[in-house]
Structure 1
Amino acid sequence: MKIFVYEFLTGGGLYSLGQSPRDNASLLREGRAMVEAVTTDLAALEFSHVDLLCDARAKLNLHGIPTHSVSSEDEERDRFCALAAAADWSLVIAPEIGGALATRQRWVRQSGGRLLGPGERTTAIASDKQRCAEHLAAHGMPIPPGVGVDGGVLLPPDFPYPAVIKPLDGAGSEDTRLLFSIEDAATFGAPARAARLEEYVSGLPASVVVLCGPEERVPLIPCRQHIADDDRCTYLGGSLPLPEELAERATRLATAAVAALPDPLGYLGVDVVLGEEAARDVVIEINARLTTSYVGLRHAAVGNLAQAMLDIAAGRPGDVRFRPRRIDFTAEGGILRSTRWTEAIC
């Protein structure tokens, strides 16, 4: 089985932006952690052959895995399409910014390849935060009240602050700000590009990965998200597991959110905030791609998490059992702690 793995920051995507990996050091570490983790797991599968696209300026710590170096925007696309056409599956990891994810998923389809990821309708919904919120609300999901704001337009003074402003096509906490008051909104001025302004919801931020296939949608163990206590909402990493009651609430929300999508497949991440009581729980957004939580989840998984992702996507049962361990991981994919649950509780 031939598998093509592509990650935007390490795979040559920055050429299309006229940027260097050195200009994106923090995001590069996050991208490198994801691609090294999932590629290692895929390469460990029996009868698998993994090909990886690699920016000539970026270094990956992967031994024995074929890497195809690219040195320009044109070379990235040409080699991407050739590898996707030759593969049984193509896994694309890219930010939503500027349509990067949707564009490269489209390259796979145009090449006649098989995408290990959702259909274009699901990606279109998840890649636009305002559209995603409206879609989820139309399907009865609880979301923070909010409005879309055009780029260059001042934020409305009559909106109920505190509020969060984030680009419609943002990835992670990129260009996200927490505005505590009308005065903060006035100081902020106008977003540089189209954004969503939504009421701030207090509670415990969490994420749930759902592995999707034609036969079933399987939620994995929920992770807590660690967010910096500042106005930038910086993502610091995560930990697992959650207390049982909170985990059940997060799983229930995520499963319902994914069920509202038109063509989910592969690895989808759902971000939620859990309130003081279940009635205050909300869905924040959906990621139609692999997320940093993969790094923590793979350490807790009994089996090979990449194998489970492939099996479920192909319509086969997947092994999604997890060890009784406490895992803490950073935004860049580092494992800070791995202990048995009983030890973590003490």
Structure 2
Amino acid sequence: MKIFLYEYLTGGGTLDGRLGEMPSGSLLIEGTAMVAALAEDLAALPGIQVDLLRDARIDDPRLERLPACIVRDADEHRSAFSRMSSVADSVILIAPESEGILLDRCRCAEAIGTRMFSPSSTLIEVVADKHRTAAVLHAVGIPVPQGCLVSPNDRLPLDVSYPAVLKPQFGAGSCETRLLPDVQAALRYGSPAQTMRLERYHAGLAASVSVLCGPKQRLLLPAGRQLISADGSFRYLGGVVPLHQTVGHRAQRLADRVLDALPPAIGYVGIDLILGEDPDGGQDVVLEVNPRLTTSYLGLRRLCRDNLAAMMLAVAGGDSVHLHWRDEPVAFTADGRT
């Protein structure tokens, strides 16, 4: 089987000028770690050929040892993406939701007709919009932070509950996300340059649940703790998997309800949560849904005794699998160190 594994930051996506001229920052760090790890796991499987795109400007030894088509400008990137999608047996996409990037790449691959082993544009269209996601989940009784949209150049409302979190309506990671502890902070912030969601801040344990999805099985992986910076920027530092069993099962039950409320998923989906102090889950809330591989994969692949990529392919392809896990927890950083 030939798999086209595409990661936007390392694969030349920014050659068109979006997200800046040169890939950098947390999205590049995490994207590099994810694509290198998944490519390594896929390449270890018999009968699997992994094809990648690589931005000629990216210099990272983890990528240089992987077979890839090198792209140097936007035209080369577009042409290579179409060509490699068309000759592959399946496509796996990793890209930020911001500026419609993941949705655009998915629609391009779907238009070519290649089998997708990552979430469809139908799901991405819903969950890439943080405000729409919250509305869909709230409508079926799933707890989410109360929030509102703030248009570009509008002042932040002062009649909402602070502390609050301000984040892009369409965003990835914690880019442009910040904590506003009080009304004075909102006044100092002024007006956003893009449409933002202002939502109530919920204290608690930052957690995530990753799920392998397919037509016959939805496999909830062990929940993990997210390590987040304490400076109000919510910068992702890494994580620890698994959570204590009782808390972890609580997180998995909530994640399962989330996926029940959304269009069917294929491949890997990550769900971010806040788990409150109430042991019955009365203070838990869902923050967002990531329709793609997430950085939690870096820890989960070490925790799993099986090849996690093989299990992802099997579930996406319609098989049912059972995973085996190590007893010792795994701590990992955003750049892939464990």
Place the TM-score, normalised by the shorter chain, in its bin. over 0.9
Partner of 1:86: 87
Distance 2:14 2:303 in 1: 32
Instruction: Specify which of 315, 319, 326 is matched with residue 318 of structure 2.
Output: 315
Partner of 2:236: 235
**Is residue 82–residue 111 contact of structure 1 (8 Å, CA) maintained in 2?**
no
With 158-167 and 56-65 compared, the bigger mean Cα shift is at 56-65
1:323-342 matches, cutoff 5 A = 323-335=326-338
Structure 2 stretches of 5 or more lacking a match?
none
1:206-225 matches, cutoff 5 A = 206-225=207-226
The 3-state SS of whatever aligns with 1:153 is coil
Distance 2:294 2:226 in 1: 12
The 3-state SS of whatever aligns with 1:279 is coil
The 3-state SS of whatever aligns with 2:329 is strand
Partner of 2:173: 172
1:16-27 matches, cutoff 5 A = 16-17=16-17, 19-21=20-22, 24-27=24-27
Q: CA deviation at 1:66?
A: 2.2
Aligned: 1:247 with 2:248: yes
1:67-146 matches, cutoff 5 A = 67-146=68-147
| Deviation string, structure 1 residues 129-162 (Cα, Å, up to 9, x no partner) | 0001001111221111111111221110101100
**Is residue 241–residue 326 contact of structure 1 (8 Å, CA) maintained in 2?**
yes
Partner of 1:340: none
Instruction: Specify which of 292, 296, 301 is matched with residue 295 of structure 2.
Output: 292
**Is residue 4–residue 85 contact of structure 2 (8 Å, CA) maintained in 1?**
yes
Distance 1:265 1:64 in 2: 29
Q: Structure 1 64/191 Cα, relative in aligned 2: closer, same or farther at 3 Å?
A: closer
1:29-48 matches, cutoff 5 A = 29-48=29-48
**Is residue 303–residue 319 contact of structure 1 (8 Å, CA) maintained in 2?**
no
**Counterpart residue identity of residue 285, structure 2:** V
**Is residue 267–residue 289 contact of structure 1 (8 Å, CA) maintained in 2?**
yes
Distance 2:296 2:242 in 1: 12
Aligned: 1:154 with 2:155: yes
Distance 2:65 2:124 in 1: 32
Partner of 2:227: 226
The 3-state SS of whatever aligns with 2:141 is coil
Distance 1:100 1:220 in 2: 27
Q: CA RMSD in A?
A: 1.3
**Is residue 27–residue 173 contact of structure 2 (8 Å, CA) maintained in 1?**
no
The 3-state SS of whatever aligns with 2:4 is strand
**Counterpart residue identity of residue 34, structure 2:** M
**Is residue 307–residue 318 contact of structure 1 (8 Å, CA) maintained in 2?**
no
Q: CA deviation at 1:63?
A: 6.7
**Is residue 315–residue 321 contact of structure 2 (8 Å, CA) maintained in 1?**
yes
| Deviation string, structure 1 residues 15-46 (Cα, Å, up to 9, x no partner) | 1226344x514432211110000000011111
Distance 1:33 1:300 in 2: 16
**Counterpart residue identity of residue 310, structure 2:** Q
Distance 2:233 2:140 in 1: 30
Q: CA deviation at 1:187?
A: 0.5
Distance 1:153 1:39 in 2: 44
Distance 1:65 1:144 in 2: 41
**Counterpart residue identity of residue 136, structure 1:** L
The 3-state SS of whatever aligns with 2:24 is helix
Distance 1:314 1:47 in 2: 15
Distance 1:119 1:139 in 2: 22
**Is residue 224–residue 240 contact of structure 1 (8 Å, CA) maintained in 2?**
yes
**Is residue 239–residue 327 contact of structure 1 (8 Å, CA) maintained in 2?**
yes
Q: Structure 1 32/64 Cα, relative in aligned 2: closer, same or farther at 3 Å?
A: closer
| Deviation string, structure 1 residues 156-213 (Cα, Å, up to 9, x no partner) | 0101100000001111110001001000001011121011111000000100001100
1:175-214 matches, cutoff 5 A = 175-214=176-215
The alignment-based identity, stated in percent, is 45
Distance 1:141 1:26 in 2: 30
**Is residue 3–residue 88 contact of structure 1 (8 Å, CA) maintained in 2?**
yes
The number of equivalent residue pairs is 334
Q: Structure 1 169/3 Cα, relative in aligned 2: closer, same or farther at 3 Å?
A: same
Partner of 2:67: 66
